[in-house]
Structure 1
Amino acid sequence: MWAPAIEDAKRNAELNGISNTLFEAGPAEQVIPRWYKEGKRADVLVVDPPRKGCDEQLLHTILKQRPERVVYVSCNPATLARDLRILEDGGYRTQEVQPVDMFPQSTHCEAVAWLQLGAKE
């Protein structure tokens, strides 16, 4: 299901001369904790959870791993707010939130949030 997106990401990284990336498809609440246990660290972490928001274990792993930046793609403003509160209480600062209307004439709106570790508002 995710294989085409991973292949596109790898191809885009190669086209842009970016070689220090790691792409893996799967439930973030499984992949990111496993990466942490394996000693893999991220400078930037992108999460795109389902409507229920990020799994509690994933949020705690992010707070332990402490990537410099987190990009959070959300389809649910309520769970985005809840998860941003947890990340902010853990030392991140929300720098910007950009709504993206991917479904015109509907009530659904995506949002992309950028968080920075320890940044001042």
Structure 2
Amino acid sequence: MLRWLGVGLLLGAALAGGASAQSVTQFDGQYVGELTLARVVDGDCTPPPLGALYPLTISGGKVRFAYVPRFSTTLSGTIGGNGVFHAAGRAKHGVVQMNGRIEGNRVTASITSPSCAYSFQTK
């Protein structure tokens, strides 16, 4: 009987792991949005060009965002089954971090570097 219990637990864990992986793939795709300079933290910040669009790519639970208004940095991270994501990358003067959420087709996020804070929103 204990043997069958062990097999059942292993099978249950495998199925739960698969369900978790499937839930993050629901966000797979490319989301295009605008960046807005939210505030200057310290130093010189470059506002993104008006109307410029930036792609946020999600695939298999992995997040990628090319952060180019000020630094040539790609932010990488992960997304959870609830649509909350975190990504980061190294820049010349420190770490750039992105925290956001996907609800339906709408993405909102904040991006913070040592000198600037931006907001990202899909159009």
So what's the TM-score if we normalise by structure 1? 0.27
Structure (1 or 2) with the larger CA radius of gyration: 2
Where relative contact order (Cα < 8 A, 6+ residues apart) is larger, the structure is 2
Greater share of helix = 1
So what's the TM-score if we normalise by structure 2? 0.26
Greater share of strand = 2
